[in-house]
Amino acid sequence: MLESVLSSGAYAIIVSDAVEIVLFGVYTIFFAFALIILTVYKKPLPVDVGMCLTTCVLYLLCMAHCSAITTDRHTTFTSGWPIPSGREMSGLLRVVDILYKTCAFFSQLIMIHRCWAVWDCRPTIVFLPLMMAIAGFVCAVLGPARLSTSDFVSPFVAPRIQALDVSFCVLSLLVFALVTYLIILRLWRVSAPVRNVKSMESLIWSLVGACIEAGALLVLAQLSVAILLVLDHPAIIIAESIATQIYVRAHPIPLCSSCAP
């Protein structure tokens, strides 16, 4: 797939990088404002330091993914004719693939932590999603690890081991969907006693709406990647670029304690 610029669907080579650069730039503005609020106006708000650091790491991973893709495109198109082969770009393409999957894994961990906090830090609630996330990440890492340099044909897209990549996408999709459902269910249950209080009703619905928005973004992004992966469509690289930025977009920097001591 996408062995050269003359291949079917070659438009995705440029579109994927352009879309990711725009999305990353927009989110960077919001991220900078969030950091300013966090560092300047954090008192008297309690700060979840662990989750703040995790969110920052996820942001850096997304930045690295955007940089790696841009470097691949720039190197390929400015190196003259003939363009570099897949073998020559294999190291960078392998990094791009691993970064994308690591971003997805970190996003799942943040969602699982959020669910754990909402459910009063009950480990049994998040055990299944956590095991699914770990299993998916193992599948994700095994793919690039088992590929040799000779397997890289396209200088734009890393080759895939279909079974492992589909397993990773499906497990990630299930984690996002399950955790979102658990968070909404918990918020709905604990809000039952005060649901008829007008001042609390708007707050409850805003929390539920925020959870639905974040969860829906993640589920839709992961579903798009899974479908295009199964179809082996060139637009998969566009979907992965968008999904990478949604992973960090769906997780604002937390300003509250994760769990009562």
**According to CATH, what is the number of the domain 11-249?**
1.20.1070
Q: Between 152 and 252, whose confidence is greater? A: 152
Whether the upstream peptide bond of residue 155 has omega within 30° of 0, thus cis, is no
d(CA 219, CA 202) in angstroms, rounded, equals 25
2-6, 108-112, 211-215 — most confident range: 108-112
Contacts for 127-135: CB closer than 8 Å, 24+ residues apart: 128/178, 129/175, 129/178, 129/179, 129/182, 132/171, 132/174, 132/175, 132/178, 133/105, 133/108, 133/109, 133/171, 133/172, 133/175, 135/171
40-49, 75-84, 94-103, 245-254 — most confident range: 94-103
Tell which residue, 253, 255, 249, has the closest CA to residue 27.
249
Checking if the pLDDT of 201 tops 70, the result is no
Helix axes 49-78, 236-249, angle to 10 degrees: 150
| Predicted confidence (pLDDT) per residue in 132-177, tens digit | 999 999 999 998 888 888 888 888 888 888 899 999 999 999 999 9
Give pLDDT, residue 258.
44
Give pLDDT, residue 227.
94
Q: Find out whether 229 and 10 touch, Cβ atoms under 8 Å.
A: no
Burial of 149: CB neighbours in 10 Å, binned 0-12, 13-18, 19+: exposed
The CA distances from residue 98 to 70, 108, 136, in Å, are 16, 15, 13
* 246: enclosing H helix or E strand: helix 236-249
Q: Find out whether 71 and 96 touch, Cβ atoms under 8 Å.
A: no
> What is the secondary structure of 57-123 as a DSSP string?
HHHHHHHHHHHHHHHHHHHHHHS-SSPPPTTTTHHHHHHHHHHHHHHHHHHHHHHHHHHHHHTTT-H
Dig out the tokens for 140 from the structure. 């994700």
The CA distances from residue 168 to 45, 133, 179, 216, 222, in Å, are 37, 9, 16, 19, 10
High-pLDDT (> 70) share of the chain, %? 83
Contacts for 37-40: CB closer than 8 Å, 24+ residues apart: 37/255, 38/253, 38/255
| Predicted confidence (pLDDT) per residue in 140-151, tens digit | 999 888 888 888
Dig out the tokens for 153 from the structure. 């044909």
For the chain, the domains span 11-249
Looking at residues 7-36, what average pLDDT do you find?
Answer: 85
Checking if the pLDDT of 4 tops 60, the result is no
Looking at residues 64-74, what average pLDDT do you find?
Answer: 91
